[in-house]
Amino acid sequence: MPTVTRRQTLAMGAGAFVAAVLAGRVPVQAQTDTLTIAFNVNLPSFDPTVGTSAVNPTIQAIYRSIFDQYVGQKPDLSFEPGLLTDWGWNDDRTQVWMDVREGVTWHDGTPFTPADVVWSLERAAKPETGNPIQFVWSKIGNFQVDGNRITADVLSFEPTLFKWMAFLTGYVLPKDYYERVGAEGFEAAPIGTGPYMVDAYEGNSFLRLKANADYWGGKPAFETVIFKFVTDATSRVAEIESGSSDITLEVPYEEYDRLVAKDGLDGVATPISDIGMIFIRNTEPMLDENVRLAAHHAIDKQAIVDRLLRGYGVPISTLEAPEYDAFDPSIEVAHDPEKAAELLAQSGYGPDNPVRFTIQTTRGFKPKDYEMIQAIVGMWRRIGIEAEIEVYEIAKHFELRAGHALAPAAFYNWGNAIGDPTTSTGFAMFGPSPHSSWKTDDVDAMIGPLWGEADEEKRIQGWKDVSRYVAEKGYVIPVLQYVQPIVFKDTLNVTPNVSGALEPTLVERAS
Amino acid sequence: MSLAAVLRRLATAAVTLFGVAVVVFVLLRVAPGDPIAMMIGPGASEADIAALRARYGLDQGLVTQFFIWLQGLIAGDLGTSISLRSDVLGLLGQRLPATLELAGAALVVALLVGGTIAILGTLARRSPGEAVVDGANGLLLAVPDFIWALAFVLVFAVFIPVFPLTGRMDPTIDMDFATRFFLLESLVRAEFAVFGNIVSHMTMPVLALALPLAAIVARVLKGALIEAMGQDYVLLARLKGKSELRLVLQEALRNALPATLALTGVQFTFLVGGTVIIERIFAYPGIGNMAIDAVINRDLPLIQGIVLAFGAMFIAINLAVDLAVAALNPRLRHG
C-alpha cells in the first residue's frame, strides 16, 4: 500500500484549495439574459408601504419591479394606466371611481381582484400601519365594489390623490396572501403583480429577481435581474469598469466622464426630480428681507454647475424644476452681485461690516454638497456676508428640521417624483408642515386654500403665484436641479427616468 | 487557567457587557439624530409624529425606555429594528456568521503571513535580507486596512480582474444552506465549487483586514524568536547539528508564541472593528455593513444590538486568548 507523507498531504490539500478558489473565481457564466445592476442603496424592507424605505425615491426602482402601482408613471413623469385602467372624480368631487385591470395574477398564480385594491387603500389609510403617506390615503373611504369598478367617498378633498397613486407607498399588495402569511411572512417571501418576481435575497448584498412570464404588460426583457447593493461609489465604479455589473448609477461626475469615454461603456446623464436648495429659517438675521435676497442674488449657480459639477446640473430659481406642473420660467432670481451688495448696504452691511450667520450642510451625502457651500460662502464673503459652515449628518438635519431648529441657512436636497407643487413648494414652504423651515403667516395664507382647490388650472396658477412670492421675498434659495449619471455596457439601451428610479424595465438590449 | 478563574472571567464579562449596554443606550439617546424625524411623511401632523414616536416606544422617559430594553435583553429580546422591521436578534444571527467567517479567515491569514515574515526575518537576522524583510513588514504596518482594500479593488478587480469585487458569493448560485456559515458549510458538504466561489469573494476583504495584523504579528513574533534563539536550550540544539530553520520551528517558536498570541488577541479586536468599513467597500453582508446602515437610519435597537454583539465578541476573543496563552505557558497553566 503506497504511503503518503505529511508533506505530500499538505501539498495535495493546498493544491485542492487553490483549484477550488480558481474554479470559484471564474464567473458562473456570462448570461445575456441576466441584467446585473450595481445599485447605490440597500433594500431594508420588501413592504413598499411602511418604514423609512417606503419614502426613499431610489428604492422605488426595486419596488416597481416587484409590485405594481395603482397608477403607472412614464419616465417623463406623466401618468399612465397601472393596476387601475381608468380613474376619476365625480362632478362635485364627493366621490372617486377606479376601474381595476382584469386578467392580472399575483406571483403565486392567484388572481388579482378589486378586493386587493380596496384592502391596500384601507390598510394604507390606517395610522397604526405606519404608512408615511397615510395623510393622503385617509382622505377616501367607504369603498364599494361593482364588478371591476371601485367607488369611494371623498372624506376630504385631496387634488393630488391619483398622483400619489403613482408615487411613494402607492402600491397594491395581495390581500389574501398578506393576511395568511402576516408581515414577517411577507418580508420573507413577498409577492406582487410586477414584471419581476423575488427569487433570492441577501440583505446588504444582493436581490435576484426572475421574469414574470405572465406579466400583464408583456414579458420583461431579461430573464434575471440582479441588484447588487454596492453603497460605496468607488466600488460601483469598479463594478462597471471590471464588467462585473452591466449598469450602475450615481457615480462621481469625474468618473462618469472617464467611464463613458471607454470602449464598451456608454452613459446617460439627465436632470431628475431632485433639487439642491438652501432652507432659510425665519430667525435673525434672515428676518431682514435685504439679507435674504442679497444671499440669493450673490450666488452664481451656473458657475457652481460648470466648475464643481462639470456641467451636470440645472440652475433653478424656484422649487419647481422644469419637468414639474407648476414650473414658471418667467420667475428668475438672477446672479447679480452688485444688486446683492446694494441690498446689504441698505441694511447697513458690507465687506467691512458683514452680516454673520451659520449655514449647515451635509458632506458627501449629495455630489459636491460641501464644496458647493464652500463656493457659495466665498461668493457671499465678497459682498459682505460672513457665513460659518457647520457640517451635519443627514439624521441631524431631519431632527433639526422637524424641530424647527435648523440654522438660519441649511443646504439640503428635495425630491418630487410626481411633479406636483404640493410636494415641492407646498411641503417645503407651508408653516404647519414638519419639513418647512420658513414659517410665516403670509406664505401660509397663500398656500392654505390651494390644498383643497378643485379647479386644477386655478390650483396650478396658485402655486406659481406662491413660487413668485417666495422668490421675491427670498424665503428659500433653490440652487440647482441634480443630474443623475448612469453608466452601462454599450450592449444595452437605457431610458433615463426623471423620477431617478433606475427600473430594469427601462433597460433593454441594444439592437 | 482553572475553572474558577474562567468562571470569574465570565462573571466579569457579564458586568462589562452590562456596562457596555448602559453606555451605548445613554450615548445613543444623547447623540444627534432622531429616527422618527427620518420617517415622517410630508403631510404629517403633530399628532401623527406623536403616534409614530409612541409606536416605537420613544415617547417614554429615558429611564423607562432603558428598563423596558433591559427587560427584553434579559429575556433574550433585543427589540425590533426600526429600518429593517425585523427582530434584532434574528438579524444578528443572520449577519454575524458572515463577519465571523471573514474575521476568522483574516486572522488565519494574518498568522500565516505574519508568522512567515517573522521566521524569514529571524533566519535573515544580521544579514542584508533582514532589512528587506523589515522594510516589507514596515510597509504592511504603515498602510491601513481600507487603503489596502481600495488598492486591491483597483489592482485585482479593475486592472487585472482576478477576484470578484462585491458580495459574499455569486448571486446566481443556488444552494440551500442549513446554517449561515456558508464557507464552513460548503466545505463540510464538499460543495467545492461553491466553497471556491466564496473564498474568491473573500480574498480581497480578507487580505485587506489581514495584512496590517500580519505586520504586527511579524514584528512581535520576530522579536520573541530572536530573543529565544539566544537561549541556552537553542544553543544546545544548535550544537547537536540542527539547521537554523529547525531551530526556529522546533525550539524557539513554542516559547515565542505566548507573547505573540496575547498581543494578537488584542489586535484581533481592532481587526473585527475594521470589518465595518471593509464590509462596506466590498458590499459584504456582515454586521459591519449593517451597522453603517443602522447608524445612518438612527436605528437605535439595531445599533444597540450590534454594539452588544461586538462587545461580546471582544470579550470572547480576549478570554480565548487568555486560555490559549495559559495552555501554552506551563507557569500560567499551573497558577
Question: CB distance from A102 to chain B under 8 Å?
Answer: no
Please tell me what DSSP assigns to residue A416. -
Domain boundaries in chain A? 6-45+179-268+485-509, 66-176, 271-483
Is A25 touching B (CB cutoff 8 A)? yes
| 3-state secondary structure (DSSP) of residue B322 | helix
User: Does domain B88-333 correspond to CATH entry 1.10.3720.10?
Assistant: yes
Q: What percent of chain A has pLDDT over 90?
A: 83
pLDDT at A21 over 60: no
Give the integer Cα–Cα distance in Å for A158 and A418: 14
- In the chain, the amino acid numbered A280 is I
Beta carbons of B141 and B215 less than 8 angstroms apart: yes
Q: Give the strand order in the sheet containing A95-100.
A: A84-89, A95-100, A149-154, A140-146
Cα of A388 vs its chain's centroid, Å: 30
Indicate the pairing of strand A149-154 with strand A95-100: antiparallel
Please give the residue of chain A at the shortest CA–CA distance from B173.
A28
Task: Specify the DSSP class assigned to residue A55.
Answer: G
A490-508 tens-digit pLDDT: 999 999 999 999 999 999 9
Decide if A144 contacts A152 (C-beta within 8 A): yes
- The reply to whether ipTM tops 0.90 is no
Q: What pLDDT does residue B325 have?
A: 77
A33 touches chain B (CB under 8 A): no
Contacts of B97 (CB under 8 A, 6+ apart): B179, B180, B181, B182
Taking contacts as CB-CB distances below 8 angstroms, the residues of chain B near A241 are: 158
Among the listed residues B141, B86, B58, the one whose alpha carbon sits nearest the alpha carbon of residue B290: B86
**pLDDT at residue number A28:** 42
Contact criterion met (CB < 8 Å) for B281 and A234 = yes
Give, in words, the CATH class of A271-483. alpha beta
A427–B42 C-beta distance less than 8 A: yes
* Section B147-173 average pLDDT: 92
- Name residue, grid cell 447679480: A336
Whether pLDDT at B2 is above 90: no
Give B187's contacts (C-beta < 8 A, 6+ positions apart).
B195
For residue B118, what are the CA distances in angstroms to B115, B148, B233?
Answer: 5, 21, 20
Give the tens place of pLDDT for each residue, A271-324: 999 999 999 999 999 999 999 999 999 999 999 999 999 999 999 999 999 999
pLDDT tens, residue by residue, B206-232? 999 999 999 999 999 999 999 998 888
pLDDT of residue A377 exceeding 90, the answer is: yes
**Secondary element (H or E) of residue B243:** none
Q: How many CB atoms lie within 10 A of CB A323?
A: 18
Q: What is the CATH number of domain A66-176?
A: 3.90.76.10
Cα distance between residue A159 and residue A326, in whole Å: 14
C-alpha distance from residue B274 to each of A100, A195, A300, B208, B281 (Å): 53, 40, 42, 9, 11
> Rounded CA gap, A285 and A290, in Å?
10
Q: Which of A35-49, A198-212, B264-278 bottoms out in mean pLDDT, i.e. has the lowest? A: B264-278
Determine what percent of chain B is predicted with pLDDT higher than 70.
Answer: 98
pLDDT tens digits, B98-139: 999 999 999 999 999 999 999 999 998 888 888 999 999 999
Contact between chains at A31 and B172 (C-beta distance less than 8 A): yes
Residues of B in contact with A134 (CB under 8 A): 41, 48
Rounded distance, CA A259 to CA A244, Å?
14
DSSP codes, A165-210: TTSTT-B---HHHHHHHHHHHHHHS---SSSEEEEEEETTTEEEEE
Task: Give the per-residue pLDDT at B316.
Answer: 86
A464 class by beta-carbon count within 10 Å (0-12 exposed, 13-18 middle, 19+ buried): buried
Question: How many C-beta neighbours within 10 Å does residue B164 have?
Answer: 25
HSE-up of residue B176 (Cα within 13 Å, Cβ side)? 0
Q: What is the rounded average pLDDT of the residues A12-30? A: 54
Per-domain residue ranges of chain B: 88-333
Report CA torsion sign: B296, B301, B302, B303. Answer: positive
Best to test chain A binding among B163, B165, B276 (most A CBs inside 10 Å): B165
- Phi and psi dihedrals of A175, rounded to 5? -55, -60
pLDDT class of A26 with cuts at 50, 70, 90: very low
User: Is cis: bond before A434, omega within 30 of 0?
Assistant: no
What pLDDT score does B296 carry? 85
The answer to whether A427 contacts chain B (CB < 8 Å) is: yes
Q: Which CATH number fits domain A6-45+179-268+485-509: 3.40.190.10, 3.30.420.280, 3.40.718.10, 3.40.50.720?
A: 3.40.190.10
- Is A232 an interface residue toward B (CB < 8 Å)? yes
| pLDDT of A57 | 85
Beta bridge partners of residue B303, listed in sequence order: none
The larger pLDDT score, comparing residue A194 to residue A30, is at A194
Lowest mean pLDDT among A8-17, A332-341, B84-93, B233-242: A8-17
User: Which residues share a beta bridge with B186?
Assistant: none
Q: If pLDDT is split at 50, 70 and 90, which confidence band does A475 have?
A: very high
